[in-house]
Structure 1
Amino acid sequence: MSTAVQVLVLYYSRGGSTQQLADAIANGIEKAGAEAMMRTVASDDEAASARDLIVANEDLQQCDALVLGSPTRFGHMASGLQRFWETTSRDWLKGVLVDKPAAVFTSSSSMHGGQESTLLSMMVPLLHHGMMVLGIPYTEPELQQTESGGSPYGASHVEHAAGPRLSRHELTLAEQLGYRVARAAQRYSKENAS
């Protein structure tokens, strides 16, 4: 059994851009010496990616931190992710996620596709669960250099600006977000162990 901090990367991706962000975040998590637990949700109109496991409520209990990602859907997260959060009342009542670090990420097909409102709305269930939500500080130079995705609210990708592949700045910011969440979880885990 691993003693490394486990960070749940829970996302939905239809076209692959959000999955690329999830992979970059996982890379940052692993650079911090933590373990990335990659999970997704099933969609009504298609089978979920066979690459990652479907999330279960037990994953919330097992994780030390959580990073939530979705493509923009008119300024909100994808419905499959919303449905999952609607099944977490028991976990909420037990305080399963209280004080665990969290962050969010998104992708859209256009520059003004609702990224910031999606990031902010994804924070709502995390805050209701008592999580400590982290963003990307302006001390990260790529946040001031990006001409596509990236926000103080979380990592993001704009497909129209850079095509389906992440730009150099988007990739770096996603990795830095994963690293930051993992390091926060490690510090919190260490404090609680003593």
Structure 2
Amino acid sequence: MNHRIIVLYYSRHGSTRALARQIARGVNAVSGCEALLRTVPDIPPSAEPPSDPYLTYDELKDCDGLAMGSPVWFGNMAAPLKHFWDATTPLWISGALIDKPACVFTSSSSLHGGQESTLQSMQLPLLHHGMLIVGIPYSEPALHTTRSGGTPYGASHHAAVSGQLSAEEKTLAQRLGQRLAALSIRLDPATANT
């Protein structure tokens, strides 16, 4: 049975979606893990179809791990993601997400646009759900050399540099996905002793 890792994102111009795809690549590189790319509806709802399916609460409840990404929005997560989490009270009451690993990622149009505060604010609902936060350790060489995105709090992208993810941003996002997936296996009581 594959461990199902949700890669949830909201993206307005595509940068956060590009990071989500790199994290999914990292997840899928771990044997026994499968990334499910999901998004949330716009507020107000958009007439355009989403690039990935909308996340359901049942999928979230049944996941083995979660990566969540948002563009920087005044130093915080975007309203559509906040709206999604505000309706997760039944999962919080049941403890459905307790002890599942989770990580966060973001994108901004300016280098000092609030990446770290956005990453930290996205961790708050995850902590309230009892999830275990996964970051990027400094043992990752790209964290020392990046000149655009990437933080110990999670993967990030500075969109104004070229509009494309840098090599370091891709590497760090993939490594974060791999780390999240590997931890989901290690934390699973069914596979912990194998």
Distance 1:91 1:21, change over 3 A: same
Q: Write the distance in 2 (CA, Å) between the matches of 1:173 and 1:48.
A: 31
Query: In the alignment, which residue of structure 1 is the partner of 2:136?
Result: 136
| Equivalent of residue 20 in structure 2, options 19, 22, 40 | 22
Query: In the alignment, which residue of structure 2 is the partner of 1:32?
Result: 30
Distance 1:50 1:112, change over 3 A: same
Aligned pairs (5 A) from 1:59-74: 59-74=59-74
Query: In the alignment, which residue of structure 1 is the partner of 2:41?
Result: 42
Tell whether 2:51 aligns with 1:51.
yes
Shift of 1:189: 1.4
Q: Write the distance in 1 (CA, Å) between the matches of 2:182 and 2:159.
A: 29
Structure 1 unmatched runs, 5+: none
1:144 aligned counterpart, secondary structure: helix
Tell whether 2:92 aligns with 1:92.
yes
Write the letter of the residue equivalent to 2:147: E
Write the letter of the residue equivalent to 2:54: I
- Normalization by structure 2: what TM-score? 0.95
Q: Write the distance in 2 (CA, Å) between the matches of 1:25 and 1:80.
A: 21
Shift of 1:59: 1.3
CA deviation string 1:93-123 (max 9, x = no partner): 0000000000000000010010000000000
Of 3-12 and 39-48, more deviation after overlay is shown by: 39-48
Shift of 1:50: 2.9
Q: Write the distance in 2 (CA, Å) between the matches of 1:25 and 1:88.
A: 24
Structure 2 unmatched runs, 5+: none
Query: In the alignment, which residue of structure 2 is the partner of 1:78?
Result: 78
Tell whether 2:168 aligns with 1:169.
yes
Tell whether 2:178 aligns with 1:184.
no
CA contact (8 A) 1:136 1:155 kept: yes
2:188 aligned counterpart, secondary structure: helix
Shift of 1:37: 1.0
Higher normalized helix content (fraction of residues): 1
Distance 1:136 1:51, change over 3 A: same
1:69 aligned counterpart, secondary structure: strand
CA contact (8 A) 1:103 1:134 kept: yes
CA contact (8 A) 2:65 2:184 kept: yes
Shift of 1:9: 0.6
Query: In the alignment, which residue of structure 1 is the partner of 2:123?
Result: 123
The percent identity for this pair of structures is 50
Shift of 1:51: 2.6
Q: Write the distance in 2 (CA, Å) between the matches of 1:148 and 1:47.
A: 33
- Normalization by structure 1: what TM-score? 0.95
Write the letter of the residue equivalent to 1:65: G
Write the letter of the residue equivalent to 1:55: L
